[in-house]
């Protein structure tokens, strides 16, 4: 058995939010209530759960963008909080809802800009960027402004951006949100290809079919707790047994059953 590439132990994160008309009242939100999981090299690991379950919080901690309140998150054996510099050059991420491209710049200029940020030597940039543009199928439109790109093309550019530093782990937070079926399938094929190249992928999605087709293992998270962690087959079997059913559920059925179970904690 290989060593895990990501280790999460008793991870907690709370947020202090201000509520009330004058923002005078404070409320503590327990976004993560102490979660544990491991991800192995080359895996496509799915994090599934309803809105507000704690998926983005988990990814923000693992990508060193957010500090945990307690517990431990390690990437390549390094602490996500405290040893960020050892982790950052070796990972990359796409946050679905966020705009991390410059729409006024061309696709090509975006990649040049980020290549500078990732400190990729100028001499290496031209060939690398051309290769990535070809890989994601944007070479012919590389000189067009991103604002003229379709959503699917923007997402392909995000993937190219996320591959600039040849990361060992790619974190994808709802990457397929809002994509049409053709673009979603292209993205799915790209994710699979990354895993086949040995990259580790941590993926969140609300599309159960996508998760079912892609993920080697899945953690189902609800109200800041992991309520199930298994292979797709394992999750389906568990629900089949719990429901005493003769028919094998699909992942969507299994997921809905799992998240509607009474909260044990
Ligand atoms: N910056 C923040 N300030 C206050 N509460 C937050 C913040 N970010 C997330 N939360 C809360 O933490 C919980 C988990 O959020 P999140 O990790 O974004 O869930 P998910 O990605 O699964 O939808 C939610 O209740 C959310 O409202
Ligand atoms: Mg989220």
Q: Which CATH number belongs to the domain containing residue 157 in this structure?
A: 3.40.50.300
Question: Quick check: is 125 in a domain?
Answer: yes
pLDDT tens-digit series, residues 77-131: 999 999 999 999 999 999 976 678 999 999 999 999 999 999 999 999 999 999 9
Predicted local confidence at residue 264, as pLDDT: 52
Q: How far, in Å, is the centroid of ligand 1 from the Cα of 31?
A: 6
Beta strands (DSSP E) in 121-199 are 169-173
Closest ligand 1 atom number to CA of residue 54: 17
Count of Cβ atoms closer than 10 Å to residue 27 Cβ: 10
Burial class from Cβ neighbours inside 10 Å (0-12, 13-18, 19+) for residue 173 reads buried
pLDDT tens-digit series, residues 159-208: 999 999 999 999 999 998 888 898 899 999 999 999 999 999 999 999 99
Q: 51 lies in which domain range? A: 6-259
Closest ligand 1 atom number to CA of residue 60: 17
Residue of higher predicted confidence among 23 and 75: 75
Question: Quick check: is 218 in a domain?
Answer: yes
Question: Quick check: is 14 in a domain?
Answer: yes
Q: Choose which residue among 13, 52, 96, 205 to substitute to test ligand 1 binding: the one with the highest number of ligand atoms within 8 A of its C-beta.
A: 52
Predicted local confidence at residue 265, as pLDDT: 47
Structural domain tally of the chain?
Answer: 1
Q: Choose which residue among 15, 28, 60, 97 to substitute to test ligand 1 binding: the one with the highest number of ligand atoms within 8 A of its C-beta.
A: 15
Q: How far, in Å, is the centroid of ligand 2 from the Cα of 64?
A: 16
CA angle in degrees (0–180, nearest 5) for 219-222-224: 95
> Could you list which residues have their CB under 5 Å from ion ligand 2?
55-56
Question: Quick check: is 198 in a domain?
Answer: yes
Question: Quick check: is 159 in a domain?
Answer: yes
Question: Quick check: is 169 in a domain?
Answer: yes
Closest ligand 1 atom number to CA of residue 173: 21
Point out which residues pair with 26 in neighbouring strands: 18
Shortest-distance ligand to the CA of residue 11: 1
**24 in Cβ contact with 58 (< 8 Å):** no
Q: How far, in Å, is the centroid of ligand 1 from the Cα of 204?
A: 14
Structure tokens at 101: 């491209």
Question: Quick check: is 264 in a domain?
Answer: no
Question: Quick check: is 265 in a domain?
Answer: no
pLDDT tens-digit series, residues 42-52: 999 999 999 99
């Amino acid at each position: 058995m290989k060593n895990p590439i990501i280790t999460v132990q008793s991870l907690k994160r709370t947020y202090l939010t201000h509520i009330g008309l004058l923002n005078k009242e404070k409320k503590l939100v327990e976004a993560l209530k102490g979660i544990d999981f491991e991800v192995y090299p080359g895996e496509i690991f799915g994090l599934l759960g309803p809105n507000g379950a704690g998926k983005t919080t988990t990814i923000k901690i693992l990508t060193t963008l957010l500090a945990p309140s307690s517990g431990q998150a390690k990437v390549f054996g390094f602490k996500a909080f405290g040893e960020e510099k050892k982790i950052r050059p070796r990972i990359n991420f796409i946050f679905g809802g966020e705009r991390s491209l410059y729409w006024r710049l061309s696709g090509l200029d975006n990649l040049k800009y980020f290549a500078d940020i990732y400190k990729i030597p100028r001499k290496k940039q031209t060939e690398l960027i051309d290769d990535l543009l070809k890989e994601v199928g944007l070479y012919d439109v590389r000189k067009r402004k991103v604002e003229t790109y379709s959503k699917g093309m923007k997402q392909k550019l995000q993937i190219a951006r996320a591959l600039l530093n040849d990361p060992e782990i790619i974190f994808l937070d709802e990457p397929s949100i809002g994509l049409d079926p053709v673009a979603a399938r292209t993205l799915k094929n790209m994710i699979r290809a990354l895993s086949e190249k040995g990259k580790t992928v941590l993926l969140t999605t609300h599309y159960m079919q996508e998760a079912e087709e892609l993920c080697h293992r899945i953690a189902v998270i609800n109200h800041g707790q992991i309520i199930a962690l298994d292979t797709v087959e394992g999750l389906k079997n568990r629900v089949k047994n719990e429901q005493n059913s003769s028919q094998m559920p699909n992942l969507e059925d299994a997921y809905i059953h799992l998240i509607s179970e009474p909260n044990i904690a």
